[in-house]
Amino acid sequence: MSDPSFTLGIEEEYHLVDRETGELASEPPAELLSECERRLQGRVGPEFLRSQIEVGTGVWQTVGEAGAELAELRRVVVEVAAVHGLAPLAAATHPFSSWEQLRPTDKARYAQLSRDLEGVGRRLAICGLHVHVGLDDDDLRIDLMSQVAYFLPHLLALSTSSPFWRGSPTGLKSYRIAVFNELPRTGLPTLFESWGEYQRHVDVLVRCGVIDDPSRIWWDVRPSFRFPTLELRVTDVCTRLDDTLAIAALFQCLLRMLWRLKRVNQRWRRYATMLIAENRWRAQRYGTDAGLIDFGRGEIVPYAALLEEIIALVREDAEALGCLPQVEAARQILVRGTSAHRQMALHRQALAAGLPAAEALRAVARSLIAETAEGLTSVP
């Protein structure tokens, strides 16, 4: 078996908000996107709603290289948005703005999507983090997709940034997942034995006119339709850039670890989807706070212990891919908390200080604006 490339590309989606009020910008000026496109040349584009913008890196060998470009992309969006009194906000849901006043982007693809999804589509005021890892062999992508599904809850837990919805604490660390679950063809991937089997199932949906192409399949991890990559999609967009890079490094290394097992005729055990879905719920609900189930032991294990096991498991791969610092930086997410933890803590502090409920939420939005733009001149 020839070595896969394990190249890396990262996409982030941001909300566009008013710098003063923190509210979602339902009608950002067209000049904002056109100026970003002029400066970033193919690495930025609109998202489903006009209040969103997406950036994507090129193809890189290392997380460090991808991180340097991602910092540039964030920095340009911050600079251009500021000219128009706006700012990008890297959180999977907005703390208080409602989706009712938002409108889809004026593109044929999004118009069709809006017609197909109706009410559930209008609620898609959510932003995610997508990580592509290059796996040139079709069957290898399908094989590793089925195995890496075990680790999706672990990665989701590290990324959580959506504890609020329409101005209310939801009790969930990732409410984005709850919104996304309303769409068809989402959630954990179906398990296939080969690329051919996967393609036959996709062809049924295409022939029936249900989907135009596999890009309308929005699983938590999927073979990319555009690139020869396996694409991580379960994660919330991270407010801190270094959290994004830690998660990207872990995903890249987990795939290389699973490939190493395959080289010696071993594999990660495939557990029933219902079991992995239980961990997915625990990550969505509790983030890193309440632990996940270790199915081999048959017990809930604290997340910190699970993370140490993962770091040990992929250390060889992190060294080979040159991303050990980013992998080990995942520990810092537990120390300072995810974006969801910080948002909730700031909200509690603001209320305890006597701020009205609306002002407490605005304080959260202002903090997210500042943190999204933090540390963009240097990337670890």
pLDDT tens across 254-273, in order?
A: 999 999 999 999 999 999 99
Identify the pLDDT of residue 65.
97
% of the chain residues with pLDDT over 70: 99
Determine the average pLDDT of the residues in 189-206: 96
Q: Is residue 188 part of a domain?
A: yes
Domain that holds residue 20: 8-372
Identify the pLDDT of residue 376.
80
Q: Is the pLDDT score of 282 beyond 50? A: yes
- What's the chain's average pLDDT? 95
Whole-angstrom distance, CA of residue 5 vs CA of residue 288: 31
190 neighbors 277 (Cβ within 8 angstroms): no
Q: Is residue 339 part of a domain?
A: yes
141 neighbors 185 (Cβ within 8 angstroms): no
319 neighbors 311 (Cβ within 8 angstroms): no
Determine the average pLDDT of the residues in 333-351: 98
Q: Is residue 135 part of a domain?
A: yes
Strands 218-219 and 186-187, sheet pairing: parallel
Determine the average pLDDT of the residues in 215-228: 96
Confidence band of 122 (pLDDT split at 50, 70, 90): confident
Q: Is the pLDDT score of 377 beyond 80? A: no
Question: Nearest-CA neighbor of 161 among 362, 329, 14?
Answer: 14
Q: Is residue 66 part of a domain?
A: yes
Determine the average pLDDT of the residues in 186-199: 96
**Tokens representing residue 140 in the block:** 């290898």
CATH number at residue 54: 3.30.590.20
Q: Is the pLDDT score of 378 beyond 60? A: no
Confidence band of 110 (pLDDT split at 50, 70, 90): confident
Q: Is residue 133 part of a domain?
A: yes
Q: Is the pLDDT score of 380 beyond 60? A: no
Confidence band of 379 (pLDDT split at 50, 70, 90): very low
Identify the pLDDT of residue 103.
84
Q: Is residue 245 part of a domain?
A: yes
Q: Is residue 1 part of a domain?
A: no
Identify the pLDDT of residue 267.
94
Count up the domains in the chain and report the number: 1
**Exposure string for 84-94, b = 16+ CB within 10 A, e = fewer:** bebbbbbbbbb
Question: Mind spelling out the 3-state secondary structure of 151-192?
Answer: HHHHHHHHHCCECEECCEECCCCEHHHHHHCCCCCEECCCCC
pLDDT tens across 35-71, in order?
A: 999 999 999 999 889 999 999 999 999 999 999 999 9
Identify the pLDDT of residue 375.
80
Q: Is residue 191 part of a domain?
A: yes
Identify the pLDDT of residue 194.
97
Confidence band of 123 (pLDDT split at 50, 70, 90): confident
pLDDT tens across 71-81, in order?
A: 999 999 999 99
pLDDT tens across 302-326, in order?
A: 999 999 999 999 999 999 999 999 9
CA dihedral sign, ordered 172, 310, 328, 220: negative
Instruction: With H, G, I as helix, E, B as strand and everything else as coil, classify residue 292.
Output: strand
